[in-house]
Amino acid sequence: MMEAGRFVLVLLSLLGAAFSLNFYGDSLHFKPPQRNEDGTVTVTFYNRQNGRSSCQDESSFSCKDDVCSSLRKFSVLQTDRDDPDQGHWCQSEGRSTVTIRRTGRTRTVALTDSGCCWVSNVGGLSHWTSGAELDLGTRSDSRSINRCPVTATVSSLRFPQNCFSRLRLLTHDPDGDNVRCRYANETEAPSNFTLDQATCTISSSGEVQIGMYVFEVMMEDFPVNNLTVTYEDGSSVSHEASNLTSQPLCKVKLQFTVNILPSVPSCDIGHTQPLFLSRTPSHGQILRATVGKTFQLYAQAQALHASIEDFQVSGPQNVTKVFKDGTLGKAELTLSWTPQIEDLNRDVPVCFSAQTNKTQSEMRCVVVTVTQASVEEGKASVLCSQGKMLVVLEKASMPGIDVTFLKLQDPKCSLTSNSTHIMGTMSLHTCGTTIEDKGDFIIFRNEITSFELANTIITRRKTIKIGFSCQFPKTLSISSSYNLHASDYIFTESSFGSFGYAFEIFKDGNFTDRVEPNEYPVAVKLMEKIYMGIEAKSELPSVKLFVESCRATPNDNPENSMNYDLIKDGCTKDETLQVHSSSPTSFNFEVQAFKFTGNFDQVYITCTVVLCEADSSVSRCAQGCLKNPSRRRRRSLDRETQGHYITQGPLQFVQQDNRDSLGDQGDLTSNHGNVAEAQIHTSDNHGDVRASSGDVSEDSLRFRSFLSSNITTVVFASAFLVAVVILAVMVRYYRRTKTTEDTNALIEDDEQS
């Protein structure tokens, strides 16, 4: 009997060990911490755990240093899994609440959990530890306790060996802080993988071997502005903006696995690796949900040479997904979730990827912010025209509405009003307008929402959310209205009304004959002069345009780490850039063409522009070039607008014409252009970039080009033949002259003798 009992115990232990080998990682995210009347602090957190087959509860978090009076754990539910017959991945989510004792000495609270074992992996790791550390002080900017970064991953990440390029992690911070990532244990960091701490992006730094890799990443937040954190005992700590050597405000550990699979024939996105289509939300996008109302998220992917079998989802409890297989390798995902009252004020991470039998798409993650059910929704009248939207809201329909506290999806765009209406005008690609492809139609969406001032601790205004959109049939030619090469940018701000900017490329220095939209991308050659102009259009009679910066990038992202400043802080940075005289509302300039080093043949130019009152002596326009940007005065709402991005491009670089080259010797002008190309680099501070092409004068280049042409060869050859003939004639002449002189001398000698 005892032997049988021992056998049962051994069997149970073996089964437990086998099950515990299913750990694929986990993540934590938090609701805003609440300070109670008795001085205690309540923290609600959510733990998502990844595994195989049927995920069960394996978490048992505890408070470090015994600072918690209670830790209550609620139900843990499975949120997603693959086909039960395969049993490759699953994920669960649990909710817990911890109460932290009131004590003047408590500044932080650390939550920890540990267990065994990791799924069999390349590094041989078995034991795992997860957790987070929160600062309990009150921030001087929000007057509340700091909120931790929000992150998550799907339960199983898979990449073919020859196709792994990068993995973007979700790094949303509700306080707007700067989030940085580092390996939690550098000694156990996976080999040949590089983690960019600033962007929280993982990429390969060498050949990645086939197998399962374990990643343990610590996410930390640092304030972007100077602030002070005050504690219960009256003490305080100052945090300098972006001081990465100081103590972070929060630490959250993210754990996940990456399975490197055998190579596939093609790494082209959309071939065997699914490609997300236009209706899918962007990575990092902020979405909104309301308590008691069903929220839906839609995604669509396509793989032309593989079958999409499912979508893997990391989401909240009670989320449901509907998978629909379409034609031409397309598949659709619809997520539905109804937030409950306990989800109020929660920032919920939702990640998803499309799955095939051999690989998966990129992982995309969004954040769903849950607000009160009392959000007041209204309807707006919208006038849609070619290239722009006009939204009008009657004040009488929403008593007490205040235009000062309304904004569009881009916070830099506000609204204007008169005695009866609130209005806003914007182009189809500004003010946060999003584009949605509906098959035969394209829809442009935006919304009006209310906001609170950062330093207020109470409010007496209702929450406003009013969506509006314009729908255009694809048969209508509207591409010039929202593509990047469109020149018109329209904004609305409360003190300046509706205003716009036209950003054009011109054919010559007269700045009158613009390049038409159907001529984009604009073909240029290295060292060729590019003529560009910006013009402001405003309802106000006396305004002035100021170009604060102009930056070149190899794509349409002005924040690209590979960039080159033409103008920065109002100061000219490129020595070939020349500004031409123009009206107060225009800015015309020329610059010599260049390209970025490497396999880049396009350049986009993005400028930050400001509109000011023409007679203001304290506006940004009046300050001009700032050698020391830190001395810039605070923006005056009634004197100048926000700084707005406007983009023009692309400039497409073409090879020099063969007729300008000298056979096998090549084109000296083109070669010199390549020197200019090679000397354009990026730098960490993005400000020490220079192009050395301007060091060589234009006359010198023309002379070198002349020397290298076929015409020059013919001219020099002809001149050489002429010189030889003249030299022969002169030699013959001097010989005859010398002979005559010698003969005459002999005759004179004979006569004398």
Averaged pLDDT, 719-740: 56
What CA–CA distance (Å, rounded) separates 52 from 633? 57
What does the domain layout of the chain look like in residue ranges?
16-260, 264-373, 376-653, 709-753
pLDDT value, residue 440: 65
Question: Is the pLDDT assigned to residue 381 strictly greater than 90?
Answer: no
Averaged pLDDT, 677-702: 39
The answer to whether 299 touches 286, Cβ cutoff 8 Å, is: no
DSSP designation for 306:
S
pLDDT in tens, 563-601: 999 999 999 999 999 999 889 999 999 999 998 888 788
pLDDT value, residue 101: 87
pLDDT in tens, 60-102: 899 887 788 889 988 899 999 888 777 788 999 999 999 998 7
pLDDT value, residue 603: 92
Which residue, 593, 587, 622, 636, is CA-closest to 607? 587
pLDDT value, residue 637: 56
Question: Is the pLDDT assigned to residue 653 strictly greater than 50?
Answer: yes
Q: What is the mean pLDDT of the chain?
A: 79
Question: Is the pLDDT assigned to residue 375 strictly greater than 70?
Answer: no
pLDDT value, residue 708: 43
Which residue, 433, 198, 434, is CA-closest to 298? 434
Exposed (0-12), middle (13-18) or buried (19+): which is 52, by Cβ within 10 Å? buried
DSSP designation for 216:
E
Averaged pLDDT, 455-471: 62
pLDDT value, residue 448: 84
The answer to whether 111 touches 63, Cβ cutoff 8 Å, is: yes
Distinct helix (H) and strand (E) counts, the chain: 6, 46
Question: Is the pLDDT assigned to residue 22 strictly greater than 60?
Answer: yes
pLDDT in tens, 279-335: 898 899 888 888 888 999 999 999 999 999 999 999 999 999 999 998 889 999 999
The answer to whether 646 touches 558, Cβ cutoff 8 Å, is: no
The answer to whether 154 touches 312, Cβ cutoff 8 Å, is: yes
Question: Is the pLDDT assigned to residue 360 strictly greater than 50?
Answer: yes
What CA–CA distance (Å, rounded) separates 430 from 388? 9
In the structure encoding, which two tokens stand for residue 170, read together?
């979700």
Between 98-112, 255-269, 667-681, the lowest mean confidence (pLDDT) is in: 667-681
pLDDT value, residue 44: 95
pLDDT value, residue 424: 84
The strand pair at 157-160 and 250-261 is best described as parallel
pLDDT in tens, 500-556: 888 999 999 999 999 887 788 899 998 899 999 999 888 777 889 999 999 999 887
Phi and psi at residue 298, to the nearest 5°: -120, 135
Q: How confident is the model at residue 695 (pLDDT cuts 50, 70, 90)?
A: very low
pLDDT value, residue 376: 52
Name the CATH code of domain 376-653 (choices 3.30.390.30, 2.60.40.4100, 2.40.480.10, 3.10.580.10): 2.60.40.4100
Instruction: Estimate to the nearest angstrom the gap between the alpha carbon of 79 and the chain centroid.
Output: 29
What CA–CA distance (Å, rounded) separates 283 from 461? 32
Question: Is the pLDDT assigned to residue 399 strictly greater than 70?
Answer: no
Averaged pLDDT, 605-614: 90
Question: Is the pLDDT assigned to residue 11 strictly greater than 80?
Answer: no
The answer to whether 576 touches 552, Cβ cutoff 8 Å, is: no
Which residue, 369, 406, 163, is CA-closest to 285? 369
- Report pTM: 0.57
What's the topology of domain 264-373? Immunoglobulin-like (2.60.40)
Q: How confident is the model at residue 700 (pLDDT cuts 50, 70, 90)?
A: very low
Q: What interhelical angle do 698-707 and 668-678 show, nearest 10? A: 140
Sorted by sequence, the CB contacts under 8 Å of residue 438 that are 6+ apart come out as 279, 471
pLDDT value, residue 438: 66
Q: How confident is the model at residue 213 (pLDDT cuts 50, 70, 90)?
A: very high
The answer to whether 395 touches 401, Cβ cutoff 8 Å, is: yes
Q: Do domains 16-260 and 376-653 have the same CATH topology?
A: yes
pLDDT value, residue 734: 53
Question: Is the pLDDT assigned to residue 728 strictly greater than 80?
Answer: no
pLDDT value, residue 38: 85
Q: How confident is the model at residue 657 (pLDDT cuts 50, 70, 90)?
A: low
What's the topology of domain 16-260? Immunoglobulin-like (2.60.40)
Which residue, 257, 278, 277, 275, is CA-closest to 266? 275
Q: How confident is the model at residue 136 (pLDDT cuts 50, 70, 90)?
A: very high
In whole angstroms, how far apart are CA 547 and each of 117, 310, 741? Answer: 58, 49, 82
